[in-house]
Amino acid sequence: MRCDVGGRRVPAPTRERHVRLPAGRRVRRARRARRRRARRDGRAAEGAYSVCYVNGFQTQPGEGSRWLEDHPDLVLRDAAGEPVVDPDWPDELVLDPSTAQQRAGILEVLGPVVTGCADAGFDAVEIDNLDTWTRFDDAATGRIDEEGALRLAAAYVELAHDAGLAVAQKNAAEVAGLAHDELGFDLAVTEECAAYDECAAYTDVYADHVLQVEYTDALPAPFAAVCARDDRAPLTVLRDRDLVGPDDGTYVREQC
């Protein structure tokens, strides 16, 4: 199935298709922020709806020094001028998309990563950390301009669509309507929405185009009960927390 986006056709997920999210990604355990971490690596899985991951609003682990050396103006600063780190991921710096110049600089670095997802055969790209403007809103500790963040999100969407990719919203359930209707996101990828009772925030907006991932160590009920919920996504996957491969003894993957 494909959907029209400004005259272009981009792939959209359907409930019949197997969904592949990149394995080997560590998952945030702390407070309501449930984000996987990985680079775009490898190629899409043949026969599956494959979603590529791009950390669009923070730096990747191990890359903070490079950003500070090459792009210091693109990193969020606190009132003392110090780089701001994500307190839950202290190896990730927060990017600052507040000005047009900063957004252009971020896109210069990460734009090729987004388009590279298309080159690698992925169907869609999820842009992680859309919600940084809700988490960093104090000038003393680092403040991101909301409009700037949303403009960067819209730029990612346009870039991905031009490359033939669908674009998934990640995080910020409270702005799902705006993300879909105004910014142009095509689908949502949500982790543990059943655990936090926020699935309807996505399914009410994106309908069938929601990829829901739950984890074995945080299920609010047996997986069969999660699958029976009216507000769950048509594509709901249960995974082991560490997203290991099938050869690992802790591997879990179920889908409904």
Q: What is the mean pLDDT of the chain?
A: 86
pLDDT tens, 133-163? 999 999 999 999 999 999 999 999 999 999 9
Q: Find all residues with CB under 8 Å of 73, minimum gap 6, and list them.
A: 101, 102, 105
How many CB atoms neighbour CB 180 within 10 A? 19
pTM above 0.75, yes or no: yes
Whole-number CA gyration radius for the chain = 18
Alpha-carbon gap, residue 37 to 40, rounded angstroms: 10
Q: Reduced to 3 states, what is the DSSP secondary structure of residue 45?
A: coil
C-alpha of 100 from chain center: 22
Checking if the pLDDT of 34 tops 60, the result is no
Q: Choose among 127, 123, 120, 98: nearest CA to 35.
A: 127
According to the 3-state scheme, what is the secondary structure of 100-157? Answer: HHHHHHHHHHHHHHHHHHHHCCCCEEEEECCCHHHHCEECCCEECCHHHHHHHHHHHH
How many CB atoms neighbour CB 6 within 10 A? 9
Checking if the pLDDT of 51 tops 50, the result is yes
Contact call for residues 169 and 186 (beta carbons, < 8 A): no
Kindly state the average pLDDT of the residues 66-74.
98
Q: What is the pLDDT of residue 243?
A: 86
Which tokens belong to 29? 């355990």
Which tokens belong to 206? 């994106």
Q: DSSP assignment, residue 44?
A: P
Q: How confident is the model at residue 10 (pLDDT cuts 50, 70, 90)?
A: low
